[in-house]
Amino acid sequence: KAGVTQTPRYLIKTRGQQVTLSCSPISGHRSVSWYQQTPGQGLQFLFEYFSETQRNKGNFPGRFSGRQFSNSRSEMNVSTLELGDSALYLCASSLGRDRGSLGDTQYFGPGTRLTVL
Amino acid sequence: TQLLEQSPQFLSIQEGENLTVYCNSSSVFSSLQWYRQEPGEGPVLLVTVVTGGEVKKLKRLTFQFGDARKDSSLHITAAQPGDTGLYLCAGLMKTSYDKVIFGPGTSLSVIP
């Protein structure tokens, strides 16, 4: 079974621009979560999509948005880029089922490395 | 303020040595997960511990969940260069939805 894929792997943008990142989940997975990873803040949860609806959201400004398509593929958009948006953006897919204390196992993609100049 | 603290932040050891990394919080978690992330890759789940006091072993890795389900440790015996990576702990909170909180990670380097 193919893993989670993310495109592009690397991206360089300048301040003020916008960017769209793409994530293809594992086949059969209906949940896609997005995370921002930086050396100072670690892994920070952005949002989760399930069946084309945003189910959960972290504490990020409205410049960060996302969507999910009927085939579960997801895109994340960042508008009006700032220098501080430079980070590794990870997406993780899961079945989207409640498994009690075990949690819903997430499978991470390799990430998109975004550099804002 | 980090909800989950990990120590040490960095660790560099010789091949064959033993090591322990720690994950601590003032919050109680339904379960706790450990991930390893290698450069250029996303985190990969190693284990999930659910019961307070639980100990799980995966070959040379031993994971323990604290009795109060607030802390965890990962012990590696006879470390190998292939163990090099960023070790992340993540706590699961059952709120209105499953909330997963990640620690900042311990960066381990095993020198041949």
Mean pLDDT score across all residues of chain B? 93
The pLDDT assigned to B84 comes to 96
Is B48 in the A-facing interface, judged by CB distances under 8 Å? Answer: yes
C-alpha to C-alpha distances, A42 to A17, A87, B7, nearest whole angstrom = 24, 10, 14
Task: Say what the pLDDT of residue B2 is.
Answer: 58
The tens digit of pLDDT for each residue in A5-37 reads 999 999 999 999 999 999 999 999 999 999 999
Residue of A nearest to B6 (CA): A42
Among candidates B44, B94, B97 on the partner chain, residue whose Cβ is nearest the Cβ of A55? B97
**Gap from A66 CA to chain B (nearest CA, Å):** 19
State the Cα–Cα distance between residues B61 and A65, nearest whole angstrom.
39
Q: Which pLDDT score is estimated for A102?
A: 75
Within 8 A of A35 by CB-CB distance, chain B residues are 102
Q: A42 vs B102: CB contact, 8 Å cut-off?
A: yes
Is residue A86 over pLDDT 60? yes
pLDDT at B109 over 90: yes
Q: Cβ distance B29 to B48 under 8 Å? A: no
Task: Give the whole-angstrom CA distance, residue B61 versus residue B59.
Answer: 6
Helix (H) or strand (E) holding B92: strand B85-94
Among A42, A105, A106, beta carbon nearest to B103: A42
**Residue A41: what pLDDT?**
84
* Distance separating alpha carbons of residues A84 and A54, to the nearest angstrom: 24
Whole-number pLDDT of residue B86: 97
d(CA B63, CA A57): 30
pLDDT, position A109 = 96
pLDDT of residue B1: 52
Any residues with CB less than 8 A from the CB of B94 and at least 6 apart, and which? A100, A101, B30
Share of chain B above pLDDT 70, in %: 98
Asked if B105 has any chain A CB less than 8 Å from its own CB, the reply is yes
Mutate to test the interface with B, among A23, A49, A101 (most CBs of B within 10 A): A101
